[in-house]
A and B are shown apart, each in its own frame.
Chain A
Amino acid sequence: DSGVTQTPKHLITATGQRVTLRCSPRSGDLSVYWYQQSLDQGLQFLIQYYNGEERAKGNILERFSAQQFPDLHSELNLSSLELGDSALYFCASSLGTITYNEQFFGPGTRLTVL
């Protein structure tokens, strides 16, 4: 158990809908990262937050947004969903932004868009 929790575990929704994925980092970790994993694209970095502030942005679509709250949990909002958004979404956390710190991954949320 990595100490990172994600809810829900599975999510099935329809095209055009909006969903929110939630992540609680490991106790003491200030950095939260969101990743999308699909068979054809591999593991894609979406966005990073550090202590409530956006720190880095990757291949995140404009339809997607995220935030980190004062208690350090984070939410990833996906809107106007398309079939191609079906994927595994992982949250990871690390102690800070030091580049040699490893990341601890949650179990993921499997999103299916029908």
Chain B
Amino acid sequence: AQSVAQPEDQVNVAEGNPLTVKCTYSVSGNPYLFWYVQYPNRGLQFLLKYITGDNLVKGSYGFEAEFNKSQTSFHLKKPSALVSDSALYFCAVRDGSGGSYIPTFGRGTSLIVHP
């Protein structure tokens, strides 16, 4: 079985400050982890993924995520937030060792960046 949790429904941050959106996961085998962003009235858009290798993954729009196997976490980060980063962020996991082809998505975290 696979699951993912996004413990915060909403994250507030001031423009220019660093941001972190949290994600923890549970899979039987090796995790494939994904972050997606959804802007208002739009579909989800792929940001980045972790398959294997370097624990720090860089993605689109200056976002990065850190894979931590011992803490089963894959937090999304950005050094300096922009107002335009305000959106809904989804973490997703797939079991890379077999099992479901279908990713499990978290419930999403609303990021609000204040000017």
Chain A positions near chain B (C-beta within 8 angstroms): 2, 4, 33, 42-43, 45, 48, 55-56, 58, 90, 92, 97, 99-100, 102-108
Contact = CB atoms under 8 A, between A and B. Distances in A.
Given A33-B102, A97-B101, A105 B90 contact: no
A99 B96 contact: yes
A55 B102 CA distance: 10
B14 interface: no
Contacts of A48: 101-102
B95 interface: yes
B8 to A, nearest CB: 14
Interface in B64-115: 90, 94-96, 100-103, 105-108
Given A56-B102, A97-B101, A100-B51, A43 B46 contact: no
25 contacts: A2-B45, A42-B107, A43-B90, A43-B105, A43-B108, A45-B102, A55-B101, A56-B102, A58-B102, A90-B43, A90-B44, A92-B44, A99-B101, A100-B51, A100-B94, A100-B96, A102-B34, A102-B46, A102-B49, A105-B36, A107-B41, A107-B42, A107-B43, A108-B42, A108-B43
B96 A42 contact: no
A58 B2 CA distance: 14
Contacts, number: 54
A3 B44 CA distance: 12
A90 B36 CA distance: 14
